[in-house]
Structure 1
Amino acid sequence: MEKIMWIILAFMAGAFLPFQAGMNNKLAKTGGSPVHASMLSFGIGVIALIVYIMLTFQNVSWKGLKDAPNYAWLGGILGAFYVTVIVLAFPKIGPGMTFGLVVAGQLVISVLMEHFGIMGTQAHSISFGRVMGMVLIVGGVVVMKKF
């Protein structure tokens, strides 16, 4: 049952991304800056997370963070890059193409991360079926662009 909940939540997280992109795009248009819109989006997200932590009485420990590998601190930079690129790409190539490419990029890198066990992922070898799945996704993006 718990696995089903995580499947639903993961689907919802993906489903919300085009809405977030549209909202951030509106902020960029009204504020005049995609980077400023991205910063506002992150700021509002930080406030939401602080409220969530306070309401759910999360046990937050700062001590262990000193043991985190240096690269772990770069996640925020990648998040800022992602949100800013989405704000810029959304009006130029449309939501379908934008998120088709996002999904294709996520799948390709995820399969490589699993194959090589990068960042503590469980090793899962690249197989013909997995490669064909990626080819179908990337092919779908190409078909979307054509039509």
Structure 2
Amino acid sequence: MTKLFIYAAAIIAGMSLSIEAAIGGALGERIGELESTYYIFIIGAMATFLVTLFFGKGNLKQIFTVPRWNLTGGLLGVVYLGLLVISVTLIGVGVSVTAVIVGQIVMSIIIEHFGLLGAQRIRLNANRLIAVGLLAVSFILIL
């Protein structure tokens, strides 16, 4: 796989999150934010089960041998999606997603700077600091 393909896949993933936020926000206004989050996770779990059933090549039994902190992703996913659905209903998709992106980049840079959670260590540098500043400006401008 070329890096260009990986970049495109990541952009498509980001686009799908914005679509999911809009759909989740609209659903949340109709059935409730927490109910919307629950529904999205149920459908996602069923879809992931089917994809894993037919295409999975890993070893799910290994889940019992990994460090406990590796299992917190599901909980963080609920926090992320729940707060996103709530924020979309209150401030809109654009502002919510921009805030999410700023939060993701800031935390990603912190994780990489310190090599936390098994991530490759990449030191904070001027380019990354400028990027965070520009993201903060974009957040202010989209308000």
Deviation at 1:71, TM superposition (A): 1.2
2:87 matched to which residue of 1? 89
Deviation at 1:35, TM superposition (A): 0.7
Alpha-carbon separation, structure 1, partners of 2:2 and 2:46: 28
Deviation at 1:3, TM superposition (A): 2.1
Deviation at 1:114, TM superposition (A): 0.6
Paired residues for 1:41-120 under 5 Å: 41-56=40-55, 58-120=56-118
Alpha-carbon separation, structure 2, partners of 1:22 and 1:143: 20
Deviation at 1:72, TM superposition (A): 1.3
Identity of paired residues, percent? 25
Structure 1, unaligned stretches of length 5 or more?
Answer: none
Alpha-carbon separation, structure 1, partners of 2:28 and 2:90: 13
1:36 matched to which residue of 2? 35
AA paired with 2:51? Y
1:123 matched to which residue of 2? 121
Deviation at 1:7, TM superposition (A): 1.0
TM-score, scaled to structure 1? 0.90
Q: How many residues align?
A: 143
Alpha-carbon separation, structure 2, partners of 1:110 and 1:84: 20
